[in-house]
Structure 1
Amino acid sequence: MTKEIIKTDVLVVGAGDSGMMAAAAAREAGAKVILIEKENKIGLMRLSNAAINSNAQKRAGVSINKAELVEYLASFAQHNVDQKLLNIWADNSSETVNWVEDNILKPNGAHMRSEPDAMVTSPIYHGFPTENDSTIDDKSYVSYGAWFQEWIINHNIDLRFNTKLVKLIKEKNTVTGAIVETNNESYQITATKGVILCTGGYSANKELLKKWNPEALKKNVYNDSPRNNGSGITAALKVGALRDQEPAECIFDRGLVPIGTKTDEMFYQTETYENWLWIGSYPFLKVNLRGQRFANESVPYQFISNAAAKEPGYLYAMIWDSNYADQLEKFHMLGCAKFGFPGYMPSKQAFINDTNQYLKKGLIVKADTIAELAKKLHLPEEALVKTVKKQNQNYIDHIDHEFGKEFYRMSPINQKPYYGCILGGRILGTLDGLRVNEKMEVLDTNYNPINHLFTAGNDSGGFFWGSYPDRVPGLASSHAQTFGRLAGKYAAKN
């Protein structure tokens, strides 16, 4: 039973990348805004955001061909996306990044830095220099979540923590507000202009994963977004919304697990990226649980998890030698895995320190022979010795005879001690969501907009399919912020 009714123009549900931007845009457009968040703090504001032709990119002389990038994204998804939405993102991404720089970063002595280097030699996985990073010194990231929250408060947006969405209120074909709950007491918020759902997907909800994306529970041993329980999507479905019918997700290949782990026994939820191995994304030798190589290790992060899903046990081992730290920079990784800023590991020593902490925890093992290493990893000794021998011959030949990995991303395993670990996927978020039109309005099952219901971020669909295109650095966060900004603008116009 609701105890009161509160009126506003726009109600935004979820205070993450998309929700914060939606609330800010609606307020700038003159709307009265309530922003609710079920946790006791805002979500993590991503530090890298993609854009085409941002001010930072103009300063750096970075130029991106919009048509080429949009077609790449559509082709990456086998055109299982709404290409109109891709174009809308491309046309509005720079305005969003510029807004963050001008309104949040610059008043606090920070700015956006464009990352101009996206060289990837493979023509199949072409890289684009889309990344814009928040920084003060151009050498390290600066977090801006607290600054954004201050902006929200200073602009009289009613930010309510520990407040969750219970259900949407719909009259005929118009959403008029929502029932929400704070401290076990429910009340109604009437939103005269619109409700914007920004709750962030469903990766923390095992029942929804079983229903909509069961393979994710086998591919992934960690979920790094424990607040994303699907509440926005399920609330919209109850008022007749249309949802993507095929899953999409962002998976990182950095999930260290104890030797002997079974994927159907582990789905660990963590907000602190526990047991996150940075070199897990690097193209060292990776083998299945039978000690055999099974894929090109030089593919986008998620692809190795996809390939491992076709192997016994879904998990895989990574093998490397004591010269590994000297190999890292030549691999030329992109995004957060990059060697040095804007990667999160600033130096060779940082990678070594990260690896050593997991040696101490027993999640990485080392040995003086490959046979001994295989025994410690519970892998067939003869098979792993044979695989390593073949890997070293490939390096001598300058040709990957099995899977075609580029030579500059190959490395021998011939310097003891040898290292190994067992890895699985880490799901950062689900990317399939509610279908939307060009105004971020949620569509019903007849593909018509539900009046006054909007969505953005990982609650919104039609933009991703299958795997995440990590060779477009910062795309997920930019999609969330850009579409959040648009949703806020359109809702305020009602």
Structure 2
Amino acid sequence: MENKLNDQKISSTIETEVLVVGAGNAGMMAAAAAAEKGAQVMIIEKEDSINLLRLGLAGVGTNAQKRAGMTIDKYELVEYLAAFAQHNVDEGLIYHWANNSAEAVNWVEDNILKPHGAHLRAEPDSLVTSSAYQGFSTENDPTIDDETFVSYGTWFQEKIAALGVNLSFKMALVKIIKEGNVAVAAIVKNISSGELIKINVSKGIILCTGGYSANEELLKKWNPLALKKNVYNDSPRNNGAGIVSALDIGAIKDEEPAECIFDRGLVPVGKKTEEMYVQTATYEDWLWLGSHPLLKVNLRGERFANESVPYQFTVNAASKQPGYLYAMIWDDNFDEYAKQFHTLGCARVGFPGYMANAKKLREDTQRYVDKGLVVQADSIEELAEKLQLPAENLKKTVLRNNELVKMNIDKDFGKEAYRLTPINKKPYYGCILGGRILCTSDGLRVNKKMEVLDANYEPIHNLYAAGNDSGGFFFGSYPDRVPGLAASHAQTFGRLAGQSAAK
């Protein structure tokens, strides 16, 4: 009866073989893969542009890595990822990614980059200095000159157009229609006109809408702590529509939350975490320095964790402190300290980081001094006052930090000696930080064909999911020491979903 009622409101009907919902890393790859297999493909995207934001692509055994003479131990990597998640994952899916990641990465290089004079450069120098900072050289970066990133979104659009894919913007998924155990159609809304359109599919619907980090109601339901740990959401497109539409027809999802959080969210002094959840697509008030292992203290001015851990771990640790937020304290030599830290991925100084050099890092930080989100002072007492931190506590913490530097050993939290830095050169700097959630990653349960599963762990036929709509791969925190994993997970599984749906 519900389907009949919806049919009465439909303004038009479209026929296609494969419908891809969402034009991001997963969706664009899914569409290309299905079209290459000869399927008639349509992509709908609720915004007015595609969403290829992530540049670094992880892979195991890519052509770029072979050119660089690099070898990654697949079994060590997969076990690291499973152990990172406390094995709250489908380990077979992680192996499935590792076994198919090179094909997906190579496809991007051969079909999207090389025709435009670009290529992938393998990041060669992951550094393993302790169990807290084990890294893997998985990242492959699109570039022309091996010194800067190149964006390839427009080239990808040209490619899928050449493959005959119909890409329609301002079209939002409303619901999926299932007959028996087969997904047969989707009801979508033309956002510009308000009209409802029925899209009949003969081969498959592939959900690639991202997670639900922009939907505060779903966060309250599935991941309430995220609203306390995070003060920014950097994926305002991700409203959970794909996941909800599948749950409505009997699908199952991960039962525990997973998320990717960066430790770069600047908070105005005096602002409380419950007063902020800024939705931004432009990385508003994003402090690159925030991911560097400088001194970090709770709102009582006390150190609370090893700062040399994955980005999200600092935010997690702060969630066990008063007020959920924390402060970072440093001195005027910070651009020199950055050279010795050897951070990985986007936080590093120099390509493939987003700060080209230490000078650029200083300039980026100065932007927020000028804006008042980073404060300067000539004494620790003055800095504490400006940050609204207890002055005596902060003075003791800074004194202890400087003692540990002189001893060349972190007796309190075990940070590597080369990451211990003094606070003794004026002016002193400080800021209040909170988490920035990039995405949620607890998605729909899928099998290796990327088919969405029902409560009996059987596939709902013709329904697929990839990217952050698909689950079983992540748990809790994102493993940022495997650079490029999120984009590669999306593209690799998008490609597999497209190939499955086209059969």
Same fold (TM over 0.5): yes
Match of 1:50 in 2: 58
Distance in 1, matches of 2:428 and 2:445, equals: 49
1:17 corresponding residue in structure 2: 25
| Distance in 1 between residues matched to 2:142 and 2:225, nearest whole Å | 35
Cα distance between partner residues in 1 of 2:339 and 2:33: 40
- How many residue pairs get aligned? The number is 493
Report the equivalent of 1:149: 157
Do structure 1's residue 264 and structure 2's residue 274 form an aligned pair?
Answer: yes
Q: 2: distance between equivalents of 1:190 and 1:46?
A: 31
Which amino acid in 2 is paired with 1:444?
D
Q: Is 1:285 the counterpart of 2:295 in the alignment?
A: yes
Output the CA distance in 2 between the equivalents of 1:298 and 1:28: 44
Gaps of 5+ in 2: 1-8
Of the candidates 190, 193, 199, which is equivalent to residue 200 of structure 2? 190
Q: Shift of the alpha carbon at 1:124?
A: 4.1
Q: Which moved more, 1:46-55 or 1:120-129?
A: 120-129
Which deviations, in whole Å up to 9, do the C-alpha atoms of 1:242-279 show, x marking residues without a partner?
01000000000000110011011100000000100011
Alpha-carbon shift at residue 427 of structure 1 (Å): 0.2
Decide whether the 8 Å contact of 2:266 with 2:285 is kept in 1.
Answer: yes
Q: What amino acid sits opposite 1:184 in the alignment?
A: G
Q: Confirm or deny that 1:3 pairs with 2:8.
A: no
- 1:321 and 1:413 in contact (8 A); partners too: yes
Matches within 5 A, 1:342-361: 342-361=352-371
The question of whether the paired residues in 2 share the 8 Å contact of 1:60 and 1:114 is answered with yes
Report the residue type matching 1:93 in the other structure.
S
The alpha carbon displacement at 1:5 in A equals 1.6
Q: Does residue 126 of structure 2 align to residue 118 of structure 1?
A: yes
Match of residue 132 from structure 1:
140
Q: Which runs of 4+ in 1 moved over 2 A?
A: none
2:318 alignment partner, one of 304, 308, 313: 308
2:420 maps to 410
Q: How do 1:309-458 residues align onto structure 2 when only pairs under 5 Å count?
A: 309-458=319-468
CA distance in 1, matches of 2:250, 2:66: 44
Partners of 2:14 and 2:198 within 8 A in 1:
yes
| Percent of paired sites with the same residue | 67
Residue in structure 2 matched with residue 273 of structure 1 by the alignment: 283
| C-alpha contact 1:45 1:144 (8 A) present in aligned 2 | no
Q: Residue 178 of structure 1: which of 156, 169, 186 is its match?
A: 186
CA shift digits 1:179-212 (9 cap, x unpaired) = 1111200111111000000000000000000000
Q: 2: distance between equivalents of 1:5 and 1:139?
A: 48
| TM superposition shift of 1:483 | 0.1
Q: CA deviation at 1:474?
A: 0.2
Tell me if the contact between 1:288 and 1:311 (Cα under 8 Å) persists in the aligned partners: yes
1:89 aligns with 2:97: yes
Code of the residue aligned with 1:233 in structure 2: it is I
Deviations 1:313-369 (A, max 9, x none): 000000000111111010110000011000000011100100100000000011110
Give the whole-Å Cα distance in 2 for the aligned partners of 1:108 and 1:225: 28
* 212, 223, 244: which one aligns with 2:254: 244
Aligned to 2:6: none
The code of the aligned residue for 1:356 comes to Q
Q: CA deviation at 1:154?
A: 1.7
The within-5 A match list for 1:210-229 is 210-229=220-239
Mapped to 2, the partners of 1:347 and 1:34 lie a distance apart of: 43
Partner secondary structure for residue 131 of structure 2: coil
Aligned residues of 1:120 and 1:332 also touching (Cα < 8 A):
no
Distance 1:177 1:117 in 2: 47
Write the letter of the residue equivalent to 2:157: Q
1:153 positional shift: 1.3
Checking the alignment, whether the CA contact within 8 Å between 1:7 and 1:191 is kept in structure 2 is yes
- Residues 210-263 of structure 1 show CA distances to partners (whole Å, capped at 9, x for unaligned) of 000000000000000000000000000000000100000000000011001101
Query: What residue number does 2:72 align with?
Result: 64
8 A contact 2:132–2:309 mirrored in 1: no
Is the contact made by 2:132 and 2:308 (CA closer than 8 Å) also made in structure 1?
no
The RMSD of aligned alpha carbons is 0.6
Pairwise CA distance, 1:152? 1.2
